[in-house]
Amino acid sequence: MNFDIAIIGGGPAGYTAAERAGANGLKTVLFEKKAIGGVCLNEGCIPTKTLLYSAKILDSVKAASKYGVSAESPSFDLSKIMSRKDKTVKMLTGGVKMTVNSYGVTIVEKEAFIEGEKDGQIHISCSGETYFVKYLLVCTGSDTVIPPIPGLSETAYWTSKEALEVKQLPKTLVIIGGGVIGMEFASFFNSMGVKVHVVEMMAEILGVMDKETSGMLRSEYTKRGVTFYLNTKVVEVNPHGVVIEKDGKTSTIEAEQLLLSVGRKANLSGVGLDKLNIELLRNGVKVDEHLLTSYPRVYACGDITGYSLLAHTAIREAEVAINHILGVEDRMNYECVPGVVYTNPEVAGVGKTEEELIKQGIPYRVSKLPMAYSGRFVAENEQGNGLCKLIQDEKGKIIGCHMLGNPVSELIVIAGIAIQKGYTVEEFQKTVFPHPTVGEIYHEIMF
């Protein structure tokens, strides 16, 4: 039971670290108490996007007449949509497990605990066995936040997990929380014909994302029948609905089903971080630019850091941590991590927002254009709404980009590379974009 490295948690951070460590000759053990792939593959990113793609196809069929295509009486089969989601999850989690195994990694599908260190080795206990390791990566992810709302414990509700397993659609749905997860579920259920209400405490949906594109998305879904309650607090839930308060006045939203989507919190308890006196910071484990914790040879990656709760962030953090163990120069850079909302239309952003720069008192310049300046966008999005916004510093260096429209989830990485490489608008302008593509909007916006 001696290993070079132990990894606790088999989500995107954990399985990426295991693959990298195994591929570089480190004797590796990976512990996962639930299912390989973590929340992302099993209860988050992949199943959600699978459902959203079915909804997107349904939206396209409903709008087919705009493109000169006849598609009368479009319908859907919820059981088949859910079955396809389950099949997709099974295929991808199986693929991840196979890949990890191919690098000689020992997978232990049981719960592991940190016991401490002795004689230069970190001790991990799991199901009555003790594992001795030189390095440790803690990648235990996050859990859904359950807010202390009066009446919640006596009321049936969904979290994202239950919403992904729905067998029968409600007629009405109240979503508490208008962040990324809340809006993606609002998008899906709205496309499925459910009357959706979104309650958000902040002045705009989508949290810290760019407010202009967030507002445009909200306006689009308002037109589709979603009702938004901004600057609104939930004060009580009961069998009749959700009691809300705004400007000192209370009212009740009647709904058949309630979905909680107010965020996630790092899994800090139960793994044994206290046995090594690992330092915490705000809502997660404190790490440096190499993802090293306050304890030598112990790293933390993914949601447990409480910093950027995104699967692609976790993957990159794992790469940085393993590179540091291997002696390869690498550092984590959060300035170029994109955020995407997979609604229809999509929203994406990377780098600084205007709101962030104003708050920090940093001068900036903005260039923006409607996505209609792209010929292909017009051809594929009949009367579609969209925006591309580039933010530059005083020297013309690109420091932010925010977009609304399809397929901005695929385009935002281009701006992310520009930010990572420190390109100015003049340097970025020399990039040749194929015609016609939606990505040409970058070239148009730089004139």
Of 345, 349, 347, 319, whose CA–CA distance to 333 is shortest? Answer: 319
* Distance of alpha carbon 334 from alpha carbon 414, whole angstroms: 16
Residue type, 315: I
Report yes or no: 179 and 207 within 8 Å, Cβ to Cβ.
yes
Q: Of these residues, 123, 197, 312, 435, which one is catalytic?
A: 435
Bridge partners of residue 248, in order along the sequence: none
Determine whether 402 is an active site residue: no
Instruction: Report helix, strand and coil shares of the chain as percent, to nearest 5.
Output: 35, 25, 35
Name the 3-class secondary structure at 400: strand
The single-letter code of the amino acid at 301 is: C
Q: How far apart are CA 345 and CA 407, in angstroms?
A: 8
Distance CA 430, CA 407 (A): 23
In sequence order, which residues have a C-beta less than 8 Å from that of residue 231 and are 6 or more positions away? 200, 201, 202, 203, 246, 247
Residues noted as catalytic: 435
